[in-house]
Amino acid sequence: YPLNCCSPCCLPQADQAAQVPMEIGLMLLVSGATAHSGIIQLLDWYVGTTKMAMVMELLDSSMNLTEFIMRQGSSLTEKKAKLIFSQLVEAVRHCHFFWVFHGDLKPDNILIQTTTEKIKLIDFGCGKVLQEKEDYTSYSGSLMYAPPEWFLQSRYSAVPATVWSLGVILFELLCGHCPFIRTDDIVKVKFKFNRDLSAECQDLIKKCFSFSPLERPTLEELQFHPWIF
């Protein structure tokens, strides 16, 4: 892991004396006293001169969402997708509340417990401290989940980019494949549904895929969309 550092003033413990790698710092912000059931918990960590190790909680009977979708026959029912998606939106809201921008939302970075269908957001390696008033000018996550403004302007804002990525994930849960194959498809917002979905579900996905970042819903608006609420 690259040892990009997070300032001790960002951490929940006031007695943190030394800087820590960014990924550890971000996870500390959403672990411990600020823990959330939808986010994997950091239990301990070790930092060397060039490498680090992190001890995470163990989620029994779990797999990532990519594998789960495949085992469900390559797509989920709207009811099951709604349960997973609503948990994910709540977990991301928690991250943003504590100034953590995950930066790489995708099914591979979401664990699901098969016995309960509860999810855990994992892998904050591409994460950053949340910026509310400034755009980001670098992108570390998977480009298949990046919004069109990144390809057109080389900049993006945290919430609209997050909502776009959530839309891609929801599409994958329901349709079994990524909505966009090429960069040109993302820029032109060119996609189509390969199965019948309710009007409310299609409306939610289309809103997440609004070309203009300003027209995409906020995380709070996602939670109160008729398909979820």
pLDDT level of residue 132 (50, 70, 90 thresholds): confident
Strands (E) in 11-69, as ranges, are 20-21, 42-47, 52-56, 62-64
* Residue 134 Cα to chain centre, angstroms: 20
Beta partners for 6? Answer: 20
Residues 106 and 192 in one domain: yes
In a domain, 228, yes or no: no
- 155 and 187 together in one domain: yes
CATH, residue 213? 1.10.510.10
For the record, the structure tokens of 213 come out as 């970042």
How many domains does the structure of the chain reveal? 2
Q: Catalytic residue at 104?
A: yes
What is the value of pTM for the model shown?
Answer: 0.91
Pick the catalytic residue from 104, 108, 123, 185.
104
From the CB of residue 76, how many other CB atoms can be counted at a distance below 10 Å? 22
Sequence-separated (6 or more) residues with CB below 8 Å from residue 27 = 42, 54, 124
> Are 92 and 45 members of one domain?
no
Please check whether residues 72 and 147 belong to one and the same domain. Answer: yes
Residues making up the binding site: 57
Whether 27 and 86 share a structural domain:
no
Mean pLDDT over each residue of the chain, to the nearest integer: 92
Give yes or no for residue 5 having a pLDDT over 60: no
Distance CA 129, CA 148 (A): 22
Domain match, 92 and 143 both: yes
Residue numbering of the annotated binding site for ATP? 57
Query: Which residues form the domain of 19?
Result: 5-56
Query: What's the pLDDT tens digit per position in 190-218?
Result: 999 999 999 999 999 999 999 999 999 99
